A and B are shown apart, each in its own frame.
Chain A
Amino acid sequence: MKGPFRFQWSQPRPALAWRVGLAWIILFLCALPLQGEQISSQGDSILERSHRFLTLSDESVRMVLLGTILMGLSCGVMGGLVVTRRLSLFGDTLSHAVLPGVAVGFLWSQSKDSWAILVGATVAGFLGVALISLLRKTSRIRQDSALGLVLSGFYALGICMLTRIQKMEFGNQSGIDKYLFGQVVGLSSSDLWTMAFSCLLILTLTILLYKELLVAGFDSEYARSIGRPVDFLQYLLWLLLAFAVITSLQVVGVVLVSALLVIPAATASLITDKMRAILIWSAMLGCMAGATGAFLSFLGNQLPTGPIIVLVSAVFFLWALFFHPQNGLFFKWLAARNRNQRISLENTLKAVYQELESINFQKETTSVSQLAKRRRIGMPQAHRETDALVARQYATIHPVEDKLAAPPRPTLLSLTPKGWGTACRIVRNHRLWELYLTNEARYAPDHVHDDAEKIEHVLGEETVRRIERILSNPKKDPHGKLIPSQQDIDRGFIA
């Protein structure tokens, strides 16, 4: 990678990143509003609306932003823990399994009390998880079927219960849609307190038990052998996951919660392969997606917040997939393209050298048509490759001054000192490698050409020097052709 494409994507310093993250939480906890109102922004221009959003002057804007950020943080951290353990599908199942619990919470408190819902949903989530492990232990059902079974069964039950509740007298605020698809403007301050509580719990326990979670996740048998309660940690993980899922339900809805668990964590694992960094990146990406999604849906007025947040995370994911400096597909493609261009260029130079060699270096020029013949390519491509040589100052072209020749007049080509040097180097690499293979690796002389065709482009100076030493500075290759020497390169011609 060269030039403008090389930029550094610096790794976050863990301590700093944590501090920044905590500062954000504290900032927003301080700004915790007490009363929410519907966002009404009919008739505002986009500029006005983005001004209102960015200055946080609106009570409801503050609440929405706080909610989405807290959700991004909780789901990001939990997602990091879950995805690295290959439990993403568990997250999905859990998010559906909590739905009947939400309904029970409604019935219990006879209103939309977020604490009652949290308790009910957690219990339902645990029932779901327990059912999965029970199914696996007592029957021949495999894990994926058990997950699917619990997911759909609990989901169906939850929808039936919520629909029924909607028709009861206290059920007017329940709104089944809220839980299925999320409705961020409906967040109340008690919802936010619940979210803040669960987020704080998740962060605290993840930091305190980082070491234990790491060893249990990597090597549970070993963790047991040093006396760590692996099963307890597993249940704790479910509990925290349930909290993250339940508190996010109102923002993005049952169906999309798992996206927020999986996408930021998957993005983070594209960026780094260290657990600590994955958790930090995942949390930050979750927050950023939450905040950006809230902003965009506010600007768009009618756009649903949950899906927008998920889309923003997906965009982050695609960005990392293509533009990560080391692993990004775009940079890999770019590097492959550069390499192919270089190889093609070097092959053309080699062809020019061989053309000159075939006339014993009597002349310093060769024509494009001869080049095309030697490389077995058409004239248009030969011209393109010649142009590439000229553009990089490896060669110069001059039209033939023979007035008698019919148009199109042949173009003559001569190498610059730079072009001559590179051509010599490639031919030298090729012939040295052939000689090395025949003399040292005992290849037959007619087996070495194809290998040398590839190796000639990748041999480094260091390796070439070593081969020279091993072969004690040879003059001729296995086919009896001269190997151009350093003097030939300096001199500019073969003597």
Chain B
Amino acid sequence: MSPFLFWIFAGLMLVFGAGVVLNRNPVASALSLVVSFLGLAALFMSLDAYFIGIIQVLVYAGAVMVLFLFIIMLLDLRAEKLRKINWLASAGGIAVAVALSVQILYVIGNFRFSQQPFPPLARSTVDDVHHVGSLLFENYNLPFQIIGVLVLVATIGVVVLSKRELR
């Protein structure tokens, strides 16, 4: 991964991530979140995690954001433009966020591995889906089943919450 492409995708991700916060129209926020997630998927691929990048595009940029847009359309969120900004609260929020970012930058600056480049990978004949899959189904069987139960609970919760008159 060349530094040029890294900075392009990182910049894209951060600019559109800021767009999520700054846009007043929820639809515009959701669409900039999609672009931000695509930039993030590109960064995953630059870290040789191709499978995670694809999953990011499939699950987040594909399914989750469609659901967000559906909800925004469903709830018809346009009233927000009329509200005035509470400047004191905004200033407080920005101050806390700046303090957090300064703290993060300080910690990373003092982290002893942060200046080391990534070690090279061996030229492997099997792809990373293979590695993730064998690890998932050999070492992580129990968490996998627990994810199944979690998704089951989520399904039941969604049905109960959104069906007004249950049979």
- B and A form one assembly: no
Binding site for A on B (CB under 8 A): none
